[in-house]
Structure 1
């Protein structure tokens, strides 16, 4: 599963502004989403779901099932996403902020047996991936989101539930212009990197 916002100017990647305009930030968000969905499509799984806030655009390719996000805070939306797949485990949830993700990494997050979870910490204190052998929405509800301790609280939830946690590598989320530069340098063959380079060539940055 990928949880994401439709790449609409002014609604996505707002922390890239004012270094980038809202339109440029939306272009980068779209590129990151396309890269993420491409990695998902290349991963051998039985179901691929985009849990979307907004309307699909021409960036969406076949093979991806789209379901709307529910209302409420991010913890409620993540819990709802896992609830869509109860009984279908293992399930791996990622966001649209890590265009450097690869099918190999996603596959590792799905190699789960009963009683196991996968956890991918982000360098900002959050997490970029959460895999559950048996999807349980209660593991997400009430976790404080978008704060420095988000990842630590979510990881502790997994431990307290008695799950064996498989650690995935730390990845950098694209939140700021510096994040964008570093991620593009790390994954130069992505659409995200080419979009960032195109903005630089046109004099945007």
Structure 2
């Protein structure tokens, strides 16, 4: 952590927004298992690694237009080197395995998300976002918009909903544990429940344009055909190789 990332002696924070990719090390049989089939475990792991590389590069691009600090919020402990190999030396690492003390009503994946938010804020940033690792083509402008909204005066949250009812980004200026309490994770109600939590604590919520997660065969078909978002060169390279070897023949026909 640089001196610029530490809170000042008077308690002020760096006027930066941290964006942390919720990252797990790409490993065959553990990564993108819902894409198997049509992919093999090795192919799914290769695609997972490409998603991480492109998402880290996308944050780096956004940081040229807004004061953004890039992180990989990783789990489990001990996979730092595997994560760093994909996100690069300019992306900080923050543990997000949910082992930090949490309120009793924050359970499951919510513990990891809150752990990540707390970890980034503790590094002295004025705001922090948790970002999906399944969105390689997310338009860069949405990352910039998230940071700009969060760095404006006043407490607020920023939410980017996913097409499946979850969200691809959630940004906060303070670690409001209520935003992660009593959520049925991995369901179509996550985004709406998060909106309800914000209303319940009187926290203004700004919504970004929706985007899609790539976590199953139908959404992979969308990715293959989609041309509107971030260029995602690493992902496109892996998809190109899979097309050449026949691994995506079924999905290409549907795209």
Calculate the TM-score normalised by the size of structure 2. 0.74
CA contact (8 A) 1:82 1:137 kept: no
Query: What is the Cα deviation at residue 118 of structure 1?
Result: 0.8
Distance 1:106 1:71 in 2: 25
Residue-by-residue CA offset, 1:18-42 (whole Å, 9 max, x unaligned): 2111111111111111111111122
> Separation in 2 of the partners of 1:20 and 1:110?
35
Q: Which residue of 2 aligns with 1:198?
A: 241
**Distance in 2, Cα, partners of 1:195 & 1:181:** 14
Deviation at 1:147, TM superposition (A): 0.9
Q: Are 1:109 and 2:169 counterparts? A: no
Q: Secondary structure at the match of 1:101?
A: coil
CA distance in 2, matches of 1:12, 1:165: 32
Match 1:37 to one of 33, 39, 56: 56
Residue of structure 2 aligned with 1:14, choices 21, 33, 44: 33
Deviation of 1:46 (Å): 4.9
| Residue in 1 that maps onto 2:23 | 4
The answer for the alignment partner of 2:166 in structure 1 is 126
Q: Report matched runs for 1:151-190 at 5 Å.
A: 151-187=191-227, 189-190=231-232
Provide the rounded CA distance (Å) in 1 between the counterparts of 2:164 and 2:87: 28
Aligned residue in 2 for 1:52: 74
Matched, 1:63 2:98: no
Q: Deviations over 1:138-197 (max 9, x none)?
A: 421332210111111012111222122111111110011221121232248322233112
Q: Which runs of 4+ in 1 moved over 3 A?
A: none
What CA distance in whole angstroms lies between the structure 1 residues aligned with 2:95 and 2:127? 21
Residue 23 (structure 1) aligns with: 42
Gaps in structure 2 of 5+ consecutive residues: 1-19, 100-107, 249-255
Change beyond 3 A, Cα 1:10–1:50 = same
Task: State the partner residue of 2:5.
Answer: none
**How many pairs does the alignment contain?**
205
RMSD value over aligned CA atoms?
A: 1.9
Residues 88 and 134 of structure 1 are in contact (CA less than 8 Å); yes or no, is this contact kept in structure 2? no
Moved more, 4-13 or 43-52: 43-52
Tell me if structure 2 keeps the 8 A contact 1:82–1:136.
no
Partner of 1:74: 109
Bigger mean CA deviation after superposition, 40-49 or 29-38: 40-49
Partner of 2:127: 90
Is the radius of gyration larger for structure 1 or structure 2? 2
Q: 1:198 Cα deviation (Å)?
A: 1.3
TM-score under structure 1 length normalisation: 0.91
